[in-house]
Amino acid sequence: MTTPPRPGRTAATVARHIEDLIREGSLRPGEKLLPEREVAERLAVSRPTLREGIGLLESKGLLIGEPGGATRVAPLGAAMTDPLVTLLAERVETTYDYLEFREIIEGSAARLAAERATEVDLDTLRRCLDRMTEAHGKADPTDEAAADVELHVAIYEATHNVVLLHIMRALAQMLRANVFYSREKLYSRPEVRDLLFAQHRAIHDAILARDAAGAQHAAERHIGFTHAALKQIRDAEARLETSLRRIGSGRIGAEGEG
């Protein structure tokens, strides 16, 4: 966390402080700032100075003013991910490229998290796993699929690598939107769901134990399993589609001729 600007500082200093909070991930894309009065009090600056500082950040595209005076952090990842959604979503092979990328990143992220996580980060990871554990006991897998993404984002935050954090947060938004694959479909298979839960616990436990090598191995194994499970599901769906076509759902030939 950055140190608040001292009284008497300029709007540029205030802007730099808020910019640092965005850069380090303390202020998230889309997050709404507190009311102007509260922010000014917390930063120990006048409201006109704060307004000027916010204006500087709005001109840089980091903050967005809303009707009614509210201010939000700009959706920073949208510039990277929005054009990719159309480009990538229609190609099945993109899923496997995405998982190959994640296998590289997730292992390194888990290792860095085990080495660098603060006690605050570890508490966040514990809460994420608690939510996942509670969701795992429900018949509907939707909450557990959502908790899956939150746990991985918490790991990215625990790396304290701001480039990795912002890139992976943006990709996590695409994952939430099922751009690459349906997490709910993956979690709908009980045997897969149980194994995914065990794998997430293994990653969590290794990070909390400061076992960097173990955390990296557990994360890579988890993504490798996800890759294999999705391929199995898609292969089964393809076989079913072929069977349905054979019994007439997609026939275009005239029977008895040829």
Domain residue spans of the chain: 11-73, 78-248
What are the backbone dihedrals phi and psi of residue 107, each rounded to the nearest 5 degrees, phi first? -60, -45
Per-residue pLDDT of 240-256, as tens digits, reads: 777 777 776 555 555 55
What are the backbone dihedrals phi and psi of residue 56, each rounded to the nearest 5 degrees, phi first? -65, -40
The pLDDT of residue 85: 65
User: Residues 182, 133, 191, 189: is their CA dihedral positive or negative?
Assistant: negative
Residue 179 has pLDDT above 60, yes or no: no
Residue 173 has pLDDT above 90, yes or no: no
Going by their DSSP bridges, the two strands 63-65 and 71-73 should be labelled as antiparallel
* DSSP secondary structure, 118-129, as one string: -HHHHHHHHHHH
The pLDDT of residue 239: 79
What is the value of pTM for the model shown? 0.71
The pLDDT of residue 1: 44
Comparing CA positions, the residue from 63, 57, 58, 49 lying closest to residue 6 is: 49
Say whether domain 78-248 belongs to CATH 2.102.10.10. Answer: no
Comparing CA positions, the residue from 167, 171, 155 lying closest to residue 111 is: 155
Question: How far is residue 120's CA from residue 154's CA, in Å, rounded to a whole number?
Answer: 11
Q: Of all residues in the chain, what percent carry a pLDDT higher than 90? A: 36
Place 182 in a pLDDT band, splitting at 50, 70 and 90: low
Place 10 in a pLDDT band, splitting at 50, 70 and 90: confident
- Half-sphere exposure of residue 115: CA atoms within 13 angstroms, side-chain side: 12
Name the CA radius of gyration of the chain, rounded: 23
Do 11-73 and 78-248 fold alike per CATH? no
- 231 contact partners, CB below 8 Å, separation of at least 6: 96
> Token pair for residue 251?
């026939």
Residue 141 has pLDDT above 50, yes or no: yes
Give the architecture (CATH level 2) of 11-73: Orthogonal Bundle (1.10)
> Token pair for residue 140?
């509907």
Residue 203 has pLDDT above 90, yes or no: yes
